[in-house]
Amino acid sequence: MVRRLRRPQSLAELALPQRPGALPAQVRILGLDPGSQRTGYAVVETQAGRIAYIVSGAIRTRGESLAERLQEIFVGVESLTSEFRPDEVAIERVFMHRNADSALKLGQARGAALSATFAARPRVFEYAPREVKLAVVGTGGAQKEQVQVMVKRLLNIAGPLAEDAADALAIALCHAHSRRLHGLVSLAVGTAR
């Protein structure tokens, strides 16, 4: 006899933890641009509509095997998470490369970086590369150099900014600007119940 299971109608039925409707006004955001050789990171803080730069950089892996590099990414992001205690994490969504092997490595690096934040229990948000470029530069087809220039302008950063750090900052900025929309959607879903 085959028993049919009823699909749950809400998150409450799944017994998953629910987040309150509106997102807080003051948060610390960790932006991550994962890669198996270099993982860019950035920490910004939003308060009263202002975005303040805290830190950015890249975790450069030295391990010979992929497993060693993934462990270095995990340890590096875990260290950042324990030091800066982000409330929210913004990470680039995986996109399909022409090379399947590269896409798999990118996905594994992304998994290692994201898993390292779980102890802090942040809210996690994903953004497509075109979405990030559109939010920061105004066009989804922007070049890396354009992203770097706009990130520096938006955050008043003087001096050089490495490509990986600029990409992570762009992801964090994209999320900071998108937070209001996420909050409105959460409220709408909450009131529709």
For residue 164, indicate whether it is catalytic: yes
d(CA 179, CA 148): 22
- For 107, other C-beta atoms within 10 Å of its C-beta total 13
What does pTM read for this prediction?
0.80
For residue range 100-158, list pLDDT tens digits in order. Answer: 888 888 889 999 999 999 988 999 999 998 899 888 888 777 888 888 889 999 999 98
Which residue out of 72, 88, 92, 167 is catalytically annotated?
Answer: 92
For residue range 63-109, list pLDDT tens digits in order. Answer: 899 999 999 999 999 999 999 999 999 998 876 667 788 888 888 99
Domain spanning 26-192, CATH architecture: 2-Layer Sandwich (3.30)
For residue 45, indicate whether it is catalytic: no
Which residue out of 33, 45, 72, 78 is catalytically annotated?
Answer: 33
For residue 101, indicate whether it is catalytic: no
Estimate the share of the chain in helix, then strand, then coil, as percent rounded to the nearest 5.
50, 20, 35
Which residue out of 45, 72, 164, 167 is catalytically annotated?
Answer: 164
User: Does 24 score more than 80 pLDDT?
Assistant: no
Nearest CA-CA partner of 91 in 42, 136, 55, 46: 42
